[in-house]
Structure 1
Amino acid sequence: MPKVISIINLKGGVGKTTITVALAEFLAIEHNKRVLVIDLDPQTNSTVALIGEDEWTKRNQNGQTLHALFKDHIDDTYTFEIESSIVRKTSNLHGGLDTLHLLPSSLDFVKIQDRLIHIWQTALIRPFDVLKNAVNQQLENYDIVLIDCPPNLGIVTQNGLNISDWYLIPTIPDHLSTYGIPQIISSVKNFNRKKSDGEVKLLGVIASMYRSNVNRHNLTLRSLESQVQQGLLPRLFETRIPLASKAADATYFDAEGINTLKQKYGNNGDYLYQSFQRLAEELQTYVQI
């Protein structure tokens, strides 16, 4: 069975999708891992970064996204098929990576958010079991599964947590971005009481969009390190993901002339590339893929 990791922060714009996609690509290319990205975020950023807008539009129209899965359980219909919905060759690197697969999201998720709580009435299952029931038999095909969660702790995020071994919290090292970390930890602990097959553990916090010359970033990192020493956090990843325009560019699927990780993530003496390279190595050390 794979190692399954949900990636969560209650605040948007903290580099969650960039880290998800970069980890997936580095693990697939440099470490020969079979990777599945599950995009649960209605913003669909990981989806578009891995397959582009044109392919996403086609799949969305054909009901080959996770929106169709959840809508089926609300409406008691049977349109979603897991086999045809998993995209089995993704990324703009090397013309697509055979070992990097995607279960895409949809902007239409927003339309059904308020109805998800009623799933138990129509489907007779717990609302947070929908994803688990759909993907359980597929997971054995992968070494690692990365779940890009929406910036909340609602039913969709709980579906990700329900199949996860760990969760990661990427954050900009400032007060506003780290403010919700205790709430995330508390909510996941409460959710663990509902799980029937083991708890989801916090793997750690990753500092993203980091600027070494910004005093508040360094002060926040020291505060997070203090929380690790106090046992409030299991770890703060040693790798810092720097603030770099190349990181945003890396999520643009239609970029031309991109064939290697260094071309895609190279910036300022390849510091961004080296940071993601170290992050992928550090992650494997902790989860023992």
Structure 2
Amino acid sequence: MPRVISLINLKGGVGKTTLTVALGEFFSLWHGLKVLIIDTDPQTNATVALMSEKEWKRRNVKGQTLLGIFKDEVDKYQVFSPQEAIVKKVSNIGGGIDNLHLLPSSLDLIEFQEEFLYRRHDYEHVFRPSLLKERLEEVLHCYDLVLIDCPPDLGFITRNALYMSDYYLIPVIPDILSTYGIPQIINRVEKLKKKTGIGLEPLGIVVSKFRVQSNVHKSQLRLLRAQAGQGGYRRVFDTVIPENNQSAAVMDFNHSFAGLEDKYGYKRPYEEYKALAEEVLAYV
């Protein structure tokens, strides 16, 4: 079975999706691993960074996105098929990476959550944290690594992601706002572990969008590293991802790139993503 890593932060805009995509691409191309990215965020940022919107729309209409897993439980009729829903050879590098696959998310998850959350007692089977793992069990053995891009909350979809994970990784900008929710994440994970008996462990914190000229960023990074043991997140990775003005362009599927160096720059942040991928693999 693959090693499964959820990437989570309660604040948006911390570089979580960019990091998920970059790690998936480096694991696939640089290390030759077969990787599945699962986009559980209704904003679908990882989805549209890795596949065309036209193809996403076609699959969404057919019920072959993440939403289909939960909708089938409500409708009591199976439409979702892991083999059909998972998109193969995704990325805007080289027309797609052979061993990088994607389970796309859906914008319609937002409406789904709003419609059924207030009627949760009638649909308890839909909100069980094991559902995502149950529906993907038959295909997970095909992969070496699974990366799950989580929404910025601790709702039932995030709990599903955490339930099927071996590790969780917390990307942060080293400022007060994006680090504020770390204790809440750790506490909720511990509660989920006690309730379900899963063996989920913190992988650590990845500092992203780091501004070397910022005294706030430098002091917050020192504080995060000093508190790693007592803070419950185990470690802060040595590799720090710098702020990059080209991050929006690399996440645009309509921009095509010849390779990793072309996409992520021939020095930065290419070297940082390469080093981080090696660091992560050393701990999983």
Question: What's the RMSD between the two structures over aligned residues?
Answer: 1.6
Answer with 221-230 or 64-73: which moved more. 221-230
* Correspondence 1:36-185 to 2 at 5 A: 36-114=36-114, 115=116, 121=122, 124=125, 127-185=128-186
Answer with 86-95 or 163-172: which moved more. 86-95
In structure 2, C-alpha distance between the alignment counterparts of 1:230 and 1:186, rounded to whole Å:
13
Answer with 111-120 or 8-17: which moved more. 111-120
Q: Where does structure 1 lack aligned partners over 5 or more consecutive residues?
A: none
In structure 1, C-alpha distance between the alignment counterparts of 2:119 and 2:75, rounded to whole Å:
10
Which of these residues, 275, 278, 289, is aligned with residue 275 of structure 2?
A: 278
Question: What amino acid does structure 2 have at the position aligned with 1:84?
Answer: E
Change (3 A) 1:122 1:182: closer
Identity fraction in percent = 48
CA shift, 1:271, in A, is 1.6
Report if the CA contact (8 A) 2:186-2:233 is conserved.
no
CA shift, 1:112, in A, is 1.2
2:17 paired residue number: 17
Report if the CA contact (8 A) 2:186-2:232 is conserved.
no
Partner of 2:17: helix, strand, or coil? helix
Question: What amino acid does structure 2 have at the position aligned with 1:37?
Answer: I
CA shift, 1:125, in A, is 6.6
Cα deviations by residue, 1:254-281 (Å, 9 ceiling, x for unpaired): 104x111011000xx6220001000101
Report if the CA contact (8 A) 2:40-2:148 is conserved.
yes
Partner of 1:176: helix, strand, or coil? helix
CA shift, 1:132, in A, is 1.1
1:245 paired residue number: 245
Report if the CA contact (8 A) 2:183-2:231 is conserved.
no
Change (3 A) 1:65 1:229: closer
Report if the CA contact (8 A) 2:86-2:104 is conserved.
yes
Partner of 2:183: helix, strand, or coil? helix
Structure 1 runs, 4 residues or longer, greater than 4 Å off: 116-126
Change (3 A) 1:284 1:70: same
Report if the CA contact (8 A) 1:117-1:155 is conserved.
no
Report if the CA contact (8 A) 1:74-1:123 is conserved.
no
Answer with 110-119 or 175-184: which moved more. 110-119
Partner of 1:271: helix, strand, or coil? coil
In structure 1, C-alpha distance between the alignment counterparts of 2:85 and 2:121, rounded to whole Å:
23
Change (3 A) 1:68 1:218: same
How does the TM-score come out when normalised to structure 1?
A: 0.93
In structure 1, C-alpha distance between the alignment counterparts of 2:126 and 2:13, rounded to whole Å:
33
In structure 1, C-alpha distance between the alignment counterparts of 2:216 and 2:17, rounded to whole Å:
23
In structure 1, C-alpha distance between the alignment counterparts of 2:228 and 2:124, rounded to whole Å:
42
In structure 2, C-alpha distance between the alignment counterparts of 1:157 and 1:71, rounded to whole Å:
16
Question: What amino acid does structure 1 have at the position aligned with 2:206?
Answer: I
CA shift, 1:233, in A, is 2.9
CA shift, 1:62, in A, is 1.6
CA shift, 1:94, in A, is 1.6
Report if the CA contact (8 A) 1:33-1:143 is conserved.
yes
Answer with 245-254 or 2-11: which moved more. 245-254
Q: Where does structure 2 lack aligned partners over 5 or more consecutive residues?
A: none
CA shift, 1:120, in A, is 7.6
Answer with 122-131 or 151-160: which moved more. 122-131
Cα deviations by residue, 1:1-46 (Å, 9 ceiling, x for unpaired): 1110000000000000000000000000000000000000000000
